[in-house]
Amino acid sequence: MAMHERGKPIAVMVVVALLGMLFAGSFLGALHSPEPHGVPVAVVGPENAVDRLGAMMDERRDGAFDLTAYGSEQDARAALLDRDVDAVFVPGRGGASLVIAGANGKIENAVLTQAFQGVGQATGQPVAVEDVVPLPADDGNGVSSIFFVITTVIPAVILAVMLAFAVPAAGAGQRIGLLAAGSVVLGGVNAWVAAGLTGALVGAPWALWGLGSLLVFAVSAFTAGALRVGGPPAAGLTVLLLVPIGVPASGGPIGPLFIPEWYAALGEWLPVSAAINAVRNTVYFDGSALGGPLLVLSLWVAAGLALVLVPKRTRAAAAEPAAP
């Protein structure tokens, strides 16, 4: 056996080990020890009272919560439904109340409940908890939106790769048209499975179809562009960015406010995190706060189209000497 043939199994093992390190390091590094940071909470009361409450909570867990004073409970509740805050705390002499949105996730709401009931114990006030956006009974952990996005992103990558092999001579316009058609089909099928067949994400099937199609187009167009410009290595790096980095950077089931801040900041600009937020806000919060997620997905679409449309130099053109 030639020396280079003997080295191939070793190279394969090295590559697989490096991939394993990337997957394990990314997922475990982000999710193994969740700690809240800057969870936004509306507190009904004057600024000075809210500042005192914030100082008390920082002594228990520094920087975990970002308290904002609201003049009325009505405005604070509206902020919760608009996705400006994740909870509302209403102090009162006879007892306080904590208003949460179960759709924000089981872990976040458990941390909020524990923290503010601890405040109640310290101040001698019982704290009643009210969930104004509860999760469906069959999705108590709130993971359906996460799995919907993951199971849309992976086929979107496959769509781009399979089209590249199925129609290698397709022009840029034809390739974009095929990607768009595939995005509508795949987005529709996944929306039907989520909203109809399984009943995991009900309430906004047409909007879910639109979001799914946009996600597929963003991922498949960028993958196709990367494959066209940089070949299989560039497409492989795109997959690594989208899955083993993008999924944990979204916070997964614990949310972006419980993973390292720098990782969450990266995740904000990746399709997985943007799509999870968009799906959750559409299905559970009547389409609130969609601007940011849709902007991120649109930027990925634009980048993908730019890569697909960029003129590709042929070997003959590259070898032709420059004119004097």
For 286, list phi and psi in degrees, rounded to 5: 55, 35
CA triple 11-12-18, angle to 5 deg: 90
- Strands, E, within the chain: which ranges? 39-44, 65-70, 87-90, 96-100, 127-131
pLDDT digits (tens, 9 = 90+) for 158-216: 999 999 999 999 999 999 999 999 999 999 999 999 999 999 999 899 999 999 999 99
pLDDT of the residue at 201: 94
pLDDT category at 2 given cuts 50, 70, 90 is low
pLDDT of the residue at 11: 83
Q: Is 79 exposed, middle or buried (0-12, 13-18, 19+ CB in 10 A)?
A: middle
pLDDT of the residue at 8: 79
pLDDT greater than 70 at residue 322: no
Give the whole-angstrom CA distance, residue 208 versus residue 195: 8
pLDDT category at 313 given cuts 50, 70, 90 is low
Contacts of 12 (CB under 8 A, 6+ apart): none
Percent above pLDDT 90 for the chain: 77
And the tokens for 271?
């399709």
pLDDT greater than 70 at residue 320: no
pLDDT of the residue at 189: 97
Closest CA to 41 of 61, 25, 23, 24: 61
Q: Is 100 helix (H, G, I), strand (E, B) or coil?
A: strand
Tell me which of 318 and 196 has the higher pLDDT: 196
Strands 127-131 and 87-90 come out as unpaired
Q: Can you tell me the mean pLDDT for 135-158?
A: 91
Task: Answer yes or no: are the C-beta atoms of 229 and 147 closer than 8 Å.
Answer: no
Q: Can you tell me the mean pLDDT for 86-91?
A: 96
Beta bridge partners of 127: 96
Q: Can you tell me the mean pLDDT for 223-237?
A: 94
